[in-house]
Amino acid sequence: MGLKEFETRSTRKIFRKFFYPSLDEFSKISKMYKSAKDLLNDLYQKRLSSNLEMEYSIVTKLLETNYKKLKLKYPLNWKVEEESARLIYYLVRLAKPKTIVETGVANGHSTFIILKALEKNNYGTLTSIDISQKAGVLIDSDMKKNWNLVVIKPNAKSIRRFFEKFDRNIDIFIHDSNHSFFWQSLEYSLALPHMSGHSILLSDDIDTSYAFYNFCVRQNGVAFILYDNRKLFGLLKI
């Protein structure tokens, strides 16, 4: 490798740590959608049952009730967006995973949705990590039987120790914590060795850095990307 090529590669690496990919770049490694239904119809090569929509509407009404009666610990705009939340619920119902791992809980919007889907499946558990014991205020006490909240310190050593507790048994991994390039890249790389042979990696806020883009390129896989209201949500089959 010549000096000029080395400098070009080094510059590209530095650039990707502080900037984010364009929609054009994402379109080259993914299929892009504006609807959770369209994405999953394509992923599973079949039309989704209308029953899922009915189920989801009931879940969102229950969630809205909790929002109205509970005092939130975190900003409202930290929650996952509407189509992304719908995608998560539908996917858990369709894939029927045994083990789900979620990073980043905050008020517990996506956590609530996942637990309701597991409850409907009558199967599977969710392990969530956060840096505060106060996370998950939206979760009702009767929903916690399938939920394990693990509080960690916000450093790489703590999250490495967390993932070491898993064998290759994570069926769905969901990133929704620190959205910096370093932390997103770290979570993807730590989760990967512990994912099962038929697993799915999900990530919110993939447009905040090149981490998800780089990960998909390294895995040589075609991502499914949901273009939600304010941001992009990614799905990659492992």
Which tokens sit at 92?
Answer: 């858990």
Quote the pLDDT of residue 197: 83
Nearest residue to 108 via CA among 83, 146, 80, 141 = 80
Burial class (CB in 10 A: 0-12, 13-18, 19+), 10: exposed
| Residue numbers of the domain that contains 173 | 43-237
Residue 177: its pLDDT value, please? 97
Residue 69 forms part of a structural domain: yes
Q: Is the pTM of this model over 0.75?
A: yes
Please report whether residue 184 resides in a domain.
yes
User: Is residue 196 one of the residues assigned to a domain?
Assistant: yes
14 domain residue, yes or no: no
Contact 216, 188 (CB under 8 A): no
At 117, list the tokens: 């889907």
Scan for tokens 């049952």, then name that residue. 49
Measured between alpha carbons, how far is 78 from 238 in angstroms, rounded to an integer? 27
| pLDDT for 169 beyond 60 | yes
pLDDT band, very low/low/confident/very high, at 10 (cuts 50, 70, 90):
very low
pLDDT band at 18 (very low <50, low <70, confident <90, very high): low
For the chain, give percent helix, strand, coil, nearest 5.
50, 20, 30
- Angle at the Cα of 89 (from 84 to 91), degrees rounded to 5? 90
In a domain, 24, yes or no: no
CB-count exposure of residue 126 (10 Å: 0-12, 13-18, 19+): buried
Closest CA relative to residue 106, chosen from 68, 132, 145: 132
Confidence category of residue 229, pLDDT binned at 50, 70, 90:
confident
Output 22-26 pairs: Cβ under 8 A, ≥24 positions apart. 25/213, 26/207, 26/213, 26/223, 26/225, 26/232
Give pLDDT, residue 110.
98
Among candidate residues 40, 42, 71, 43, the one with its CA nearest the CA of residue 56: 40
Is residue 20 included in any domain, yes or no? no
Q: pLDDT at position 19, please?
A: 80
- Whether residue 12 is contained in a domain is answered as no
- 151 burial level (CB within 10 Å; 0-12, 13-18, 19+): middle
Pairing, β 232-237 against β 223-227: antiparallel
How many distinct structural domains can be found in the chain? 1
| CATH number for the domain that contains residue 174 | 3.40.50.150
